[in-house]
Amino acid sequence: MARDEALNASDPSKAAVVTTPADHDLALDKPVTASSSYSNDHAPEKAVDGDLSTRWAQGSGLPDPSWIQVDLGKDTSVSSVVTTFEKAGGYKYRLEYSTDGTTWSLFEDHTSDATSSSAVYSFADEPVTARHLRLTVTDSSGNGGSVYGLQAYGGF
């Protein structure tokens, strides 16, 4: 309920309904591989270590695209993925999933519009079955692939 300057009350607003992912990160501390060498101490496993002050960064001066892939260990129901990039914007990417690490399906295609914030939330219309998740940075605005967090969540 809100009040105007004359203290007249408005009708209460309808309650907002928000669906958030479960709070267990399925990718936490799972095995990770990357498409290339990495910069300084920014190893691929730092993207899934649960610490948003550490990151994976592709090797300095390497061209786009670059990718990072996490093995969830077994076929798992995945409903959402949260990617935290190094920069607040300017990344174009593709997020894919696979049960065998060979045949990939699209989870989200963000290759035509650059990100506008560092944290990007991707939600599947229906949960997918995945053992592997792969994030391919197709355009990094010259920064190179650099990710503080790649988190996966199951049911809502």
Per-residue CA distances from 85 to 10, 135, 144 (Å): 42, 11, 11
Which CATH architecture fits 32-153? Sandwich (2.60)
Contact at 8 Å (CB) between 79 and 123? yes
Q: In the prediction, which pLDDT does 18 show?
A: 52
Ranges under pLDDT 70 in the chain? 1-4, 12-23, 156
Q: In the prediction, which pLDDT does 62 show?
A: 84
Q: Which residues contact 120 (CB under 8 A, 6 or more apart)?
A: 82, 83, 84, 85, 110
Q: In the prediction, which pLDDT does 143 show?
A: 82
What is the residue extent of each domain of the chain?
32-153
